[in-house]
Amino acid sequence: MVKRSRIIHTMMEDVCRMEPIIKNQKIMTYLETMEYVEELKQYGSVPGLENIRNLCARLGNPESSLSFVHIAGTNGKGSVLAFVSEILKAAGYRTGRYLSPTLFEYRERIQINGRSIAKKELCRQMSRIKEVCQEITAEGKPHPTAFEIETAIAFQYFKEQKCDIVVLEAGLGGLLDATNIVSNTLAAVFTSISYDHMGILGNTLREIAENKAGIMKPGAKVVAVKGEPEVMETLQKKAEQLNLSFRLADPGKASHVKRSLGRQTFTYKTYRNLTITLSGSYQVDNGVLAVEVIEALRERGFSIPEKAVYQGLADTIWQGRFQILSKKPWFIADGAHNRDGARRLGETIGFYFTNKRILYIIGILRDKEQDEILKATCPLADQILTVPTRGERGLGSYELACRVREYHHNVTALDSVEEAVEMAYLLADKDTVVIAFGSLSYLGDLIKIVEKITAGKSRNEIGRDSHGKQREN
């Protein structure tokens, strides 16, 4: 039986953990740390495990002291990570989360029991890593990438904080992803696998699945959501080669499914009327997969009562996934950024908003399958606004609008996300549905802008009557 950690830690324990890793080490300020993070972008993305192994070895291989639920897939990784993490938290386990990309703040990618790493702690960890990277380059070796550094910091932090288990999201693919340095994998989990990053992962579903199957490790439980036949065959074959048990999560066996915006319930196996607050038809699939992951962990000795499953699923909040930001008009943010995500978004729009006027805000990265995304979504829209995406992979709003015009005649390019939100509110009546999607890279800014506008409207609703007196709610 796995021993549970105490949830509440004394102040003295927390203070002890904040001691510098290296005596007399110069700790960067948070501003200096964020400037260093920006500098790291110059090292790009380099598939392979040699650099991360070298980096972690110099830290004492912190990952070797941890146990992992490792999640790979094309869509749904973040949602499944959130579901599983919340269930484990509800069961009393000190649970680390490592995820990317983030919506609002850099620190979100490293969490324990849903709380992001503190600024002071991030500065301490990053300062040490910077010194280690200087040692590496002084020896003529390649400088670690930003993702490799973030991954190493996460491992070190989770080790110091004595996490019982870490729910780990693979970055790109699986086999050569920096997260795949881990060896103590309790469960290798596979969400929906479809086409994305073909230039790196392969041009067929089988090739993509083979890459992602690389996270399977000896002794792990393999858990996969039911998908395309060639994907299932590839995952099962790899599991058989390693003599691993294979657990299939079949959303088709979910019954009594009831869907409404902001709440869905379903029954799966012995669990009756499970509740999730995430909208989107695909979230039931992710919920089913999370339940199977928990069953696999029980087989590994984790004590997870049924009430923790119910509580964890109900408590899960995952922003940017068909997230309702406001009503009258409906304003929704969704992270659909590839062909499968766009298809599922289209299905969800058709289910909830048949015969409604639909207005899109779209921002897509340059290296994404723009045509496939637009073909799946544009026919449902009455009007489309495009916004620019930032960074080396960014795509200008005018260039995107030109692509959109191949699929929809009513499109307008805007210079900023803020301008697009303002125009959307001007164009929408109370029954219009505004849906922003295409890339998570701009959704964090959009969500903040909409929440600010909504908060201002709420304050104004108090208003004044014709005699200048404040009205009551």
What is the pLDDT, as a whole number, of residue 203?
A: 78
Q: Cα(first)–Cα(last) distance of the chain, in Å?
A: 54
What is the pLDDT, as a whole number, of residue 16?
A: 42
Classify residue 466: in a domain, yes or no: no
Question: What's the burial of 62, exposed, middle or buried (CB within 10 Å: 0-12/13-18/19+)?
Answer: middle
Classify residue 451: in a domain, yes or no: yes
Verify that 348 and 301 share a domain, yes or no: no
Per DSSP, the residues of 194-213 read: -S--HHHH-SSHHHHHHHHG
Mean pLDDT for the stretch of residues 268-281: 94
Please answer whether residues 222 and 215 qualify as being in contact, where contact means their C-beta atoms are separated by less than 8 angstroms. Answer: no
Q: Is 0.85 surpassed by the pTM of this model?
A: yes
Please report which residue ranges of 317-473 form alpha helices under DSSP H: 339-352, 370-377, 397-404, 417-427, 440-460
Verify that 381 and 448 share a domain, yes or no: yes
What gap in Å lies between CA 136 and CA 59, rounded to an integer?
Answer: 12
Classify residue 122: in a domain, yes or no: yes
Residues spanned by the domain of 191:
11-315
| Among 32, 21, 23, residue whose Cα is nearest residue 62 | 21
pLDDT in tens, 201-237: 777 999 999 999 999 999 999 999 999 999 999 999 9
Q: What is the CATH number of the domain that holds 131?
A: 3.40.1190.10
Which residues share a beta bridge with 169? Answer: 71
Give 198's pLDDT tier (boundaries 50, 70, 90). Answer: low
Place of tokens 């972008």: 41
Distances, alpha carbon 329 to alpha carbons 176, 385, 426, in Å: 44, 16, 11
Verify that 376 and 265 share a domain, yes or no: no
Classify residue 2: in a domain, yes or no: no
What gap in Å lies between CA 318 and CA 154, rounded to an integer?
Answer: 20
Verify that 298 and 435 share a domain, yes or no: no
Verify that 303 and 393 share a domain, yes or no: no
What is the pLDDT, as a whole number, of residue 269?
A: 95
What gap in Å lies between CA 202 and CA 199, rounded to an integer?
Answer: 6
Classify residue 6: in a domain, yes or no: no
Pick from 262, 280, 315: which residue ends a domain? 315
What is the pLDDT, as a whole number, of residue 251?
A: 96
Pick from 260, 292, 315: which residue ends a domain? 315
Distances, alpha carbon 51 to alpha carbons 64, 211, 344, 428, in Å: 16, 19, 37, 50
Verify that 29 and 166 share a domain, yes or no: yes
| Among 225, 147, 157, 150, residue whose Cα is nearest residue 188 | 225
pLDDT exceeds cutoff 50 at 464:
no
Verify that 24 and 155 share a domain, yes or no: yes
* Across 73-77, 248-252, 284-288, 452-456, least confident range: 452-456
Verify that 263 and 382 share a domain, yes or no: no
Give 456's pLDDT tier (boundaries 50, 70, 90). Answer: confident
What is the pLDDT, as a whole number, of residue 282?
A: 87
| Among 117, 88, 86, 116, residue whose Cα is nearest residue 4 | 88
> What average pLDDT does the structure give for the chain?
90
Share of the chain above pLDDT 70, in %: 90
Mean pLDDT for the stretch of residues 61-90: 96
Verify that 359 and 413 share a domain, yes or no: yes
Verify that 412 and 303 share a domain, yes or no: no
Residue of 405 and 172 predicted with greater confidence: 405
pLDDT exceeds cutoff 50 at 18:
no
Classify residue 5: in a domain, yes or no: no
pLDDT in tens, 99-145: 988 889 999 999 999 999 999 999 999 999 999 999 999 999 999 99
Q: Number of folded domains in the chain?
A: 2
Mean pLDDT for the stretch of residues 82-92: 98
119 membership: H or E segment, kind and range:
helix 119-138
Verify that 83 and 188 share a domain, yes or no: yes
